[in-house]
């Protein structure tokens, strides 16, 4: 017998003795005061009710009833303490009171049992809701596995193992071990075979089941909508078999874990679909931009070269030089586009991130300005950067490409005489680049589509300048791959303003939103 049970028995005996003693004293006092011996019965019944209520054992009420009636019988028939008159029929009365007390104690004990069961069910329900809430709040298969194992081990007091996939697929399983030797046994080939059987048959197996009874663990499947989402093994070797209540409660916890896993799988699937949709959208935008921006200069080159070939004798040398100049300019434009496309290919497909390293901000800006000066020596540029020395995590070549594209767009669309400004500032944990001009600015529709690959503005001016769609689409791809942001808007004073940011720490998450 355990120490806990012994202490409960001793506690119940003391409670019985103390309650009967108090009841006897009170009954003596009250009976002497009133001269009415029937008060003895009242205190007797009251004491039995109290004892049945405050004691733990089911038999306490029975024992108290017997002891109580013995005390009452002694005082009425053998003690002169109460000086009670003897009457015939008291034996029948006492026996009736005895059985009444037995019934009362039984009813009280049964009521206590029901109350205790109700409280336990309520506690389990609250606990189960808490488990379900915590499981559903997690994001990640491993976190769900870990929490489910903790709850199962806490409930059963056993080591556990959680398989997301069949062990036959190479899955090692997540283990919550209470002893090192348990882990070795749970990872044995036989135990893995039984766990695989559960995946195949969607039924419980292992210790104390119809299949694999010689196993050390009991394996339970996690099933939701007829789909098996995992298997939990509970180490049972040398342990007391799980009782029905524990097993039923364990199945409820496992059901909650299965729901959480299914929700996580659906969320992951939706996220993957979203990522794939964004990739397809990017590819579509780039293809449209390429077809639009490359076709325009190619058409001009073909037309100019065809004119020279077919009308060489009719064209003057000056006209021929002009057409050759067009071909030269369009060839340079195509080369520029190819450079842009090569820049994008540096962003790894699928990972959508770039290899960043701290670069001096001043050097990157100077290199981009120098490159623009080489192509547009007469451009009006105004540059302002922070006085403090800033090292910004970036891929310098890609960011130079972004700066060049934005500055070049300003020169082309605002006009050669327009003032193009590049202002760089530091703001908390990021660096902000602002490229603006004092030209016509963007139309409202441009703000929505300017980064999507094709700008309507381009179409309206296709005869004079090549499209900006592919350039800005590439800018957005590069900045987003750096974990920054980019947007375009019109200034209140007139002209377009492009703003992009680069984080000073981390920020390599890729998001492409409308």
Same domain, 495 and 363: yes
Decide if 305 is inside a domain.
Answer: no
Structure tokens at 416: 């050669």
Q: Where are the beta strands (DSSP E) in 417-460?
A: 419-427, 430-437
Contact 399, 502 (CB under 8 A): yes
Same domain, 263 and 228: yes
Contact 206, 215 (CB under 8 A): yes
Decide if 39 is inside a domain.
Answer: yes
**Mind listing the pLDDT tens digit of every residue in the chain (514 residues)?**
666 778 888 888 888 888 888 888 887 788 778 777 677 778 878 888 888 888 877 677 778 777 777 776 666 665 554 444 555 566 777 778 778 888 888 888 888 888 888 888 888 888 888 888 888 888 888 899 899 888 888 888 889 999 999 998 888 889 998 888 888 888 888 899 999 999 999 899 988 888 888 888 999 999 888 888 999 999 987 777 778 888 888 888 888 888 888 888 888 888 888 878 877 776 776 677 667 667 777 888 898 899 989 888 888 888 888 889 888 877 877 787 777 667 666 664 545 556 788 999 999 999 889 888 877 888 889 999 998 888 999 988 788 888 988 998 888 888 767 899 999 999 888 999 999 998 888 765 555 567 765 544 444 444 444 444 567 877 888 888 888 999 888 888 888 899 999 998 754 444 444 3
CATH number for 472: 3.30.565.10
Same domain, 150 and 258: yes
Q: Which residues pair with 419 in a beta bridge?
A: 380
In three-state secondary structure terms, 231 is strand
Same domain, 160 and 262: yes
**For the CA atoms of the chain, what is the radius of gyration?**
43
Same domain, 127 and 258: no
Decide if 184 is inside a domain.
Answer: yes
Decide if 296 is inside a domain.
Answer: no
Instruction: Give tens-digit pLDDT for 389-435.
Output: 889 999 887 888 889 889 988 888 887 678 999 999 998 889 999 99
Euclidean distance between CA atoms 201 and 195, whole angstroms: 10
Q: What is the DSSP string of 157-169?
A: -S-EEEESS-GGG
* The model's pTM: 0.53
Same domain, 249 and 363: no
Decide if 256 is inside a domain.
Answer: yes
Range of the domain at 48: 3-132
Same domain, 94 and 188: no
- Give a three-class secondary structure readout of 30-81: HHHHHCCCCHHHHHHHHHHHHHHHHCCCCCHHHHHHHHHHHHHHHHHHCCCC
Contact 158, 236 (CB under 8 A): yes
Euclidean distance between CA atoms 9 and 55, whole angstroms: 9
Q: How many structural domains are present in the chain?
A: 3
In three-state secondary structure terms, 212 is coil
- Does an H or E element contain 268, and which? helix 244-310
Strand order across the 205-206 sheet:
174-176, 160-163, 227-235, 217-224, 205-206
- Backbone dihedral angles phi then psi of residue 315, each to the nearest 5 degrees: -85, 140
**47: Cα within 13 Å, side-chain hemisphere:** 31
Instruction: Compute the 3-state secondary structure of the chain and give helix, strand, coil in percent, each to the nearest 5.
Output: 60, 15, 25
Contact 458, 432 (CB under 8 A): no
Number of other CB atoms surrounding residue 452 within 10 Å: 18
Task: Tell me how long the chain is.
Answer: 514
Decide if 316 is inside a domain.
Answer: no
Instruction: Give tens-digit pLDDT for 216-272.
Output: 899 999 988 888 899 999 998 777 777 888 888 888 888 888 888 888 888 888 888
Indicate the DSSP class of residue 218: E
């Amino acid at each position: 017998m355990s120490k806990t049970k012994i202490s409960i028995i001793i506690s119940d005996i003391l409670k019985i003795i103390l309650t009967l003693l108090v009841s006897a004293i009170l009954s003596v006092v009250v009976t002497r005061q009133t001269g009415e011996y029937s008060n003895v019965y009242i205190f007797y019944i009251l004491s039995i009710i109290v004892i049945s209520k405050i004691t733990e054992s089911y038999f306490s009420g029975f024992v108290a009833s017997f002891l109580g009636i013995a005390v009452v019988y002694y005082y009425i028939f053998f003690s002169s303490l109460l000086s009670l008159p003897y009457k015939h029929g008291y034996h029948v009365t006492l026996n009736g009171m005895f059985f009444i007390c037995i019934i009362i104690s039984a009813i009280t004990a049964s009521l206590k049992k029901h109350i205790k069961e109700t409280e336990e069910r309520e506690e389990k329900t609250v606990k189960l809701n808490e488990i379900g809430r915590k499981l559903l709040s997690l994001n990640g298969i491993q976190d769900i596995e870990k929490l489910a194992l903790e709850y199962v081990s806490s409930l059963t007091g056993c080591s556990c193992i959680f398989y997301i996939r069949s062990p036959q697929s190479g899955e090692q399983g997540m283990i919550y071990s209470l002893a090192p030797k348990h882990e070795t046994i749970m990872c044995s080939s036989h135990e893995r075979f039984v766990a695989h059987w559960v995946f195949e048959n969607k039924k419980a197996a292992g210790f104390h089941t119809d299949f694999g009874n010689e196993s050390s663990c009991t394996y339970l499947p996690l099933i939701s909508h007829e789909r098996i989402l995992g298997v939990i093994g509970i180490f049972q070797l040398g342990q007391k078999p799980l009782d029905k209540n524990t097993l039923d409660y364990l199945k409820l916890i496992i059901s909650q874990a299965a729901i959480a896993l299914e929700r996580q799988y659906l969320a992951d699937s939706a996220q993957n679909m979203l990522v794939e949709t964004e990739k397809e959208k990017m590819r579509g935008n780039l293809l449209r931009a390429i077809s639009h921006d490359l076709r325009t200069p190619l058409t001009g080159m073909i037309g100019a070269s065809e004119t020279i070939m077919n009308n060489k004798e009719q064209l003057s040398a000056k006209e021929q030089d002009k057409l050759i100049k067009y071909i030269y300019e369009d060839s340079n434009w195509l080369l520029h586009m190819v450079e842009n496309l090569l820049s994008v290919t540096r962003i790894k497909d699928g990972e959508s991130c770039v290899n960043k390293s701290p670069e001096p901000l001043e050097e990157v800006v100077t290199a981009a300005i120098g490159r623009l000066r080489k192509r547009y020596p007469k451009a009006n540029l105004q540059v302002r950067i922070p006085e403090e020395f800033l090292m910004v995590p970036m891929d310098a070549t890609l960011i130079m490409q972004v700066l060049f594209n934005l500055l070049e767009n300003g020169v082309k669309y605002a006009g050669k005489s327009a003032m193009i400004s590049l202002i760089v500032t530091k703001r908390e944990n990021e660096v902000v680049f602002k490229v603006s001009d004092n030209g016509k600015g963007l139309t409202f529709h441009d703000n929505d589509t300017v980064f999507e690959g094709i700008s309507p503005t381009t179409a309206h001016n296709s005869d004079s300048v090549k499209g900006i769609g592919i350039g800005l689409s590439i800018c957005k791809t590069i900045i987003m791959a750096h974990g920054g942001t980019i947007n375009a808007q019109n200034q209140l004073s007139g002209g377009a303003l492009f703003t992009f940011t680069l984080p000073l720490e981390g920020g390599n998450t890729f998001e492409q939103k409308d």
